[in-house]
Structures are given as C-alpha cells and as structure tokens.
Structure 1
C-alpha cells in the first residue's frame, strides 16, 4: 500500500522526458495528473498544492493566454523539491520505495529533529520526503 503524502513543501522541477516523469509521479508517487501537455504537466500534490513538471527547453518563450502573458522560464541541471510527510509515514515510505526499486540516495536527520529521505526522479531531480520539525514554519 502506498504511504500518504501531506503535500509539497518546496517545488521546482524541469524534465527532459515527460513520459518517464509522468509515469514516475503517477505510478510511483501516486499523484493525480490534472493537466497534461507537451510543455507542462500539473499534478495534485495535496490540498491547494500543485506540482508543475515543465518540459526542459520548451518553456523559454513567453506564452500568450486569454488571461495574459506567462513569462518564459527554464533551468538547467537537477532541481530539488520536498514533500511533507508525517513521521509515522517515514518507515512505510522507506519500505515502499525499496519494494518499488527506487533507490534512496540519502537519509538525513536534521538538527531540529526532522528526517529526510532523498531520491531521484527519472531525470535526476532530487526529491525529498521530509518529516517535521525542519524549518520554523514546518513543525509537528
């Protein structure tokens, strides 16, 4: 059974392979795709939280929409973002990722007491599953 996500704490992700990213975010992490396209996909990551996955190199130009212009943006290299999880979900996530053959690349216990599991998506972006307490605005 897939452990529960509490939402996105930090976000910024660009990928080269939209299909591999879609499979990872839907099949492995269990996020619901709300919008899918060649340029971007949007995933429901919790109440009022959205993960945007942009196709690297396809978002540099401004985009005109009926509501206004969306400024162009892009990045190179690997990005990082974190999902909030409750402390009782840390072990289930560790077990689930191992079962799904997703490598945990690092585990960290933070000075405030929170714990993180780090893993990569198919493009090498660094994802973090993190428990409170971590930041002053993320306490249990």
Structure 2
C-alpha cells in the first residue's frame, strides 16, 4: 500500500496568477522559484506555446508544512457552490466575542485584497462562529 507523502490543492479558475497571488496574501504563502534555466516565471511563460501561456500558477508554504496550492486555467466559469473549500483558521481556540473580533479583523484584511464577505454563521452550541467568504473569482472559503 502506498503512503501519501504530500497533498496539493488544485483550483480551477480563469486567471491562475491573480488567484494564486490572492491566496499567497491570505495564507502567507510564496511563489516558488521558476524552473531551472529560467530567471523569472515570465521568462518561463514566454517559452511555452501561446495557448499555454498564463495557464497555471502555484504558491507554497514557505515553512514547507502546508500543502502546495496549484491554480489551473479552465474554459468554463464557476457555476455552482464548491464541493470542497478551504477553512482559514484564524479563530482557533477563541470563543464568543473574542472569536468574532478575530474573524471580523481578518475579514476586513481579506476584503481589502478583493475577497467578498458572504455571511456570518453564528455559534450554535455545536459549532463556533465562522464567516463564509469568496475569493477573487468567487470560490467559497470560511474564516473559522
């Protein structure tokens, strides 16, 4: 039986670099170095066929702990709710008003980056409060 060593989270999107750079800012991730032989990602992009230029981008956790995020251009737009989403864990260990304040502060930072606030889901006795948001292309995620 094979043992999973790492996972990568892949996003289908219209503008891979734009969405990747948004998530770099959200998570503190970085753009990895370009492939060997290329000084920049722009140099690499110019070396691929025109129809493939700008078709993919990635970002990585600089500590090497979190998964690599990969963004690939697809022709169709987002039509329905995500079946998978990221939870950005900014309120871990916090409850009540302290948790809400942490969620709201991070929400304000992300809205300034282009995210959209959708709705607040208040604590219900089983789950703590979280904020449902959308990234720059409308992909849902939660501030948790």
Shift of residue 125 of structure 1? 0.2
- 1:31 aligns with one of 8, 29, 32: 29
- Given the superposition, is the C-alpha separation of residues 92 and 123 from structure 1 closer, same or farther in structure 2, using an over 3 Å criterion? same
Number of positions where the alignment pairs a residue of Structure 1 with one of Structure 2: 105
- Given the superposition, is the C-alpha separation of residues 90 and 48 from structure 1 closer, same or farther in structure 2, using an over 3 Å criterion? farther
Point out where structure 1 has 5 or more consecutive residues left out of the alignment: 1-10, 59-73, 131-140
Tell me the equivalent position of 2:15: 17
- Given the superposition, is the C-alpha separation of residues 76 and 124 from structure 1 closer, same or farther in structure 2, using an over 3 Å criterion? closer
User: Larger Rg: 1 or 2?
Assistant: 2
Shift of residue 124 of structure 1? 0.4
Q: Quick one: distance in 1 between partners of 2:134 and 2:62? A: 17
Shift of residue 128 of structure 1? 0.8
TM-score, L = length of structure 1: 0.54
Shift of residue 118 of structure 1? 1.2
Shift of residue 46 of structure 1? 7.3
Q: Is 1:94 aligned with 2:104?
A: yes
1:105-130 alpha-carbon deviations (Å, 9 max, x no partner): 11113551322111111110001122
- 2:87 aligns with one of 69, 82, 88: 82
Query: Is contact 1:33–1:41 with CA below 8 Å preserved after alignment?
Result: yes
TM-score, L = length of structure 2: 0.53
Point out where structure 2 has 5 or more consecutive residues left out of the alignment: 1-8, 35-40, 42-54
Q: Quick one: distance in 1 between partners of 2:142 and 2:130? A: 6
Tell me the equivalent position of 2:120: 107
Shift of residue 35 of structure 1? 6.4
